[in-house]
Amino acid sequence: MKKPLLYAGLVLFMGFGAFAQNKTAIKFSQSISKDNAYKHLSVLASDEYEGRETGKKGAWMAADYIRNHFKSLGLKGPVGGNYFQPIDMVSYDVVQSILTINGQAKELLKDFIISPSSVTQNGFTLNKNAVIFAGYGLSKPDFNEFEGLNIKDRIVMVFASGDPTQKSTEKPATDRAAMRAALVARQAKLKYLSDNGALAVIQIDPSLDNPNEETIARYNNGAGRLTLKTPDLLEKMKEQKSLPVINISTATANEILKQSGSNVQSVQQQITNTGKPASKELSVVLSVSALKKEVKVRAENVLGFLEGSDPKLKKEVLVVTGHYDHIGLTTSGTDKVNNGADDDGSGTTGVLMIAEAFAKAKKAGKGPKRSILFMTVVGEEKGLLGSEWYSEHPVFPMENTITNLNIDMIGRVDPDHEQNPDYVYIIGSDMLSSDLDKLGKKANTDYVKMNLDMRYNNRTDPNRFYYRSDHYNFAKHNVPVIFYFNGVHADYHQPGDEVSKINFPLLARRAKLVYFTAWELANGAKRPLVDKNEDGTPKK
């Protein structure tokens, strides 16, 4: 099977008219260099920026750095004169968690944890005189631990993980596969309990027996996931129904099980030895409650605007994006900082350099005909939140947005290209517009001559890369996109994603491809025609 590489020299361009190398474009591309890239990335991906996690100090520092750079270039702040687009981002945090067993209060983070995602906006309070113990929570045809039990309106206690019916040969081959299998099993268990009317589930979780920093960090002081505060969200929250999930230590579980003269070890041995469920009702006075609070999170997209020079075309806007956030600090290992040099310090650096090149061109009287919005977005790692916010609250009308060129990871080489690193993945270029696909490839042919790998350029790619970066929030609004990407590597979302591992000449070369593509888009006679529907079918 042939590798799906598109070699630049084989690509033909049609529809926009042939364009040869533009000497002016080449002249101002000199700002896009390995030295300039290092200047920016060595700051943005430094330990001082603490991994740039959304809503944390490092991300705010990065936003300030980017704003100052845009301002120094003479770009305009398009948000009422400002460079920041504030995002209405919040988290819903559990601020009070209480568990008592037979009147004795248990200690949070030592004896129990209540999952924030399982608590509704109004919180909950439950008081019961009995708990249903259902072993591993399995409901298989040949091993149903709920058989004969009525769990409706009851609190059910189960082991957080494990399956005594699974043979050793059935275990997943890799740790990642094991984690995925455990997640699927847990979700199936919780769905069964919810579908059958359980009030809450108590999970026996050995990781709480000696909670380390990682366990405590996972709870994150009860903080819920970050989300955009929208009317739809508030309406959904009013209607939300959730099964409260309380994880408890082995000692806490033994305190509940002792009412029946057993403990965790003995009941596990019983199930293993007999091959039969050991489900039972336990007489215990249990009270559990949790309250939630809305917490405002500071987050902003950073925008720099370059107005076009053509009176008729300047209302049309090209948007160049990269996300400046990453995943922050970790609690395990000696290196605590997830620097995110490649993801996506490299893309942010590319945006900064491309902005500088266009700003210098404009100052020399050679600015683009169309306007360009340079935007670094936040919250990508939390679910594409910053770009979603912009797409729903655009500073410039989406119908005037001709294309989004999105840069997410352009500083490294993935394992498939170690022998031929002069490549970049392009994704989405032909999803909505045949014109854009041809223009992007022709820009590569004329200026850069890099191998364009399109293996991930489809909607059915199991990695789902088309849906996993900020361009997708533009594509959802019928804006043509190109996503530039170097693929994942061993340091993806790890502390090892550091500046020292960045290939700066390659980063600059990829950024130049984006720049020359942007130059042709911003100066072309017409904008790319959207000739395809979201599902890829031709428009009629």
Q: Per-residue DSSP letters for 448-505?
A: I--EEE-TT-STT-TT-GGGSSTHHHHHTTT--EEEEE----TTTTSTT--GGG--HH
Q: Looking at residue 17, what is its pLDDT? A: 45
Sorted by where each begins, the domain ranges of the chain are 5-87+299-523, 91-296
Secondary structure of residue 441 in the 3-state scheme: helix
Phi and psi at 455, nearest 5°, equal: -65, -25
Contacts of 23 (CB under 8 A, 6+ apart): none
Contacts of 131 (CB under 8 A, 6+ apart): 154, 155, 156, 157, 202, 256, 281, 282, 284, 286
Q: Looking at residue 290, what is its pLDDT? A: 95
The bridge status of strand 371-377 relative to strand 300-306 is: antiparallel
Q: Looking at residue 170, what is its pLDDT? A: 56
Secondary structure of residue 167 in the 3-state scheme: coil
Cα 433-437-438 angle, rounded to 5 deg? 115
Q: How far is CA 432 from CA 90, 233, 466, 471, in A?
A: 33, 29, 12, 12
Cβ pair 13, 302 in contact under 8 A: no
Q: Looking at residue 255, what is its pLDDT? A: 96
Residues forming beta bridges with residue 127, ordered by sequence position: 287
Q: Looking at residue 222, what is its pLDDT? A: 72
Choose among 314, 381, 392: nearest CA to 347: 381
- Report the distance separating Cα 377 and Cα 385, nearest Å: 8
The DSSP element (H or E) to which 84 belongs, if any, is strand 84-86
Q: What is the mean pLDDT of each run of 10 residues along the chain (540 residues)?
A: 36 47 95 98 98 98 98 98 97 92 94 90 93 95 94 96 78 62 84 95 93 72 85 71 92 94 95 94 96 94 98 98 96 91 98 98 98 98 98 98 98 97 98 97 97 96 96 97 98 97 98 98 97 89
Could you tell me the fold of the domain covering 5-87+299-523? Aminopeptidase (3.40.630)
Q: How far is CA 239 from CA 120, 126, 128, 486, 499, in A?
A: 9, 20, 25, 42, 46
User: How would CATH label the architecture of 91-296?
Assistant: 3-Layer(bba) Sandwich (3.50)
Strand segments (E) across 208-316: 227-228, 245-248, 280-297, 300-306
